[in-house]
């Protein structure tokens, strides 16, 4: 009986569990997943930057410092005349 317990402790009688890491194959998979995640994050950042820079060329964000206007901030489209009731903030 003692030899069976010793063998069980050493892991000779049982196969490794599926939840345990199996070695380099799983490590490579995690590394590849992390690399593709970084590539995807970079693509999202670049697309966001391009979208924001395109919007910035045609719009302006203005903060109201006076009490004469009812709102504290405005988004304004450059080159377009403002009309009454057009801005929301």
pLDDT at 9: 58
For the segment 24-50, what is each residue's pLDDT rounded down to a tens digit?
555 778 889 999 999 999 999 999 998
Per-residue pLDDT, 16:
56
Helix (H) or strand (E) holding 6: helix 2-10
For residue 4, the Cα-to-chain-centroid distance in whole angstroms is 51
pLDDT tens digits for 11-22? Answer: 555 555 556 555
31 three-state secondary structure: helix
Predicted model pTM: 0.45
pLDDT over threshold 70, residue 78: yes
Q: How far is CA 43 from the centre of its chain?
A: 11
Element spanning 56, H or E? helix 24-58
> For 65-87, what is the mean pLDDT?
77
């Amino acid at each position: 009986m003692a030899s069976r317990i010793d063998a069980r402790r050493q892991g000779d009688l049982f196969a490794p569990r599926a939840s345990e890491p199996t070695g380099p194959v799983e490590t490579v998979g995690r590394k590849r997943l992390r690399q593709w995640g970084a590539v995807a994050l970079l693509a999202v950042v670049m697309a966001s930057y391009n979208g924001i820079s395109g919007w910035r060329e045609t719009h302006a964000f203005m903060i109201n410092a006076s009490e004469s206007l009812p709102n504290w901030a405005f988004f304004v489209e450059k080159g377009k005349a403002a009309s009454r009731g057009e801005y929301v903030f």
